[in-house]
C-alpha cells in the first residue's frame, strides 16, 4: 500500500511541476506578474504541505508496522506554512496577489482530487473490459 501512495505522490509531483511551469510562463509573458507570483507561492506552499503529509504518512505506516507509538500528522507545521504564505502575500501585495495565492494553495488538493477521480474511472473502465 505504501508503494502505491509513493507512486501516486510522484504522479502528483509531475502535475504540480507543470502548474509551476505554467506560472513561470505567465510571469514572464503577461503583465499580470503579481497574480502569477501569488499563484506560484500558493502552489509551492501547497506542494510543501502535501510533501510533509506524505512524509508523516510514511512515518505513521512504519510506526504502525513496528508496533511503535506515533504522534501527530504535522498539522501545526502545515498551518504555519499557510500562515507564513498569507503573511508574505499580505505584506507585499505589489508582488503577490492574495486571492491567487489562495487558489494556488487549493490547486495541490485539486490535483489530488482530480487524479483520484480520473484514476478511479480509468480503473473501473479497465475492470469492465476484463469482465467483458
Give the global pTM: 0.84
Reported as a single tens digit per residue, the pLDDT across 71-118 is 888 899 999 999 999 999 999 999 999 999 999 999 988 998 998 898
Per-residue cell: 31: 503583465
Reported as a single tens digit per residue, the pLDDT across 24-62 is 999 899 999 999 999 999 999 999 999 999 999 888 888
50 within 8 A of 12, measured Cβ to Cβ: yes
59-62 contacts at long range (C-beta below 8 A, 24 or more positions apart): 61/1, 61/2
Amino acid at each position: 500500500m505504501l508503494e502505491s501512495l509513493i507512486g501516486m505522490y510522484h504522479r502528483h509531483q509531475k502535475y504540480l511541476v507543470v502548474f509551476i511551469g505554467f506560472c513561470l510562463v505567465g510571469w514572464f509573458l503577461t503583465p499580470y506578474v503579481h497574480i502569477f507570483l501569488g499563484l506560484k507561492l500558493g502552489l509551492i506552499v501547497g506542494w510543501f504541505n502535501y510533501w510533509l503529509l506524505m512524509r508523516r504518512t510514511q512515518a505513521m505506516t512504519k510506526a504502525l508496522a513496528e508496533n511503535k507509538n506515533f504522534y501527530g500528522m504535522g498539522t501545526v507545521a502545515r498551518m504555519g506554512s499557510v500562515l507564513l504564505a498569507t503573511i508574505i502575500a499580505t505584506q507585499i501585495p505589489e508582488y503577490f496577489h492574495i486571492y491567487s495565492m489562495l487558489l494556488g494553495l487549493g490547486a495541490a488538493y485539486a490535483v489530488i482530487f482530480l487524479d483520484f477521480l480520473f484514476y478511479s474511472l480509468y480503473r473501473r473502465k479497465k475492470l469492465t473490459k476484463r469482465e467483458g
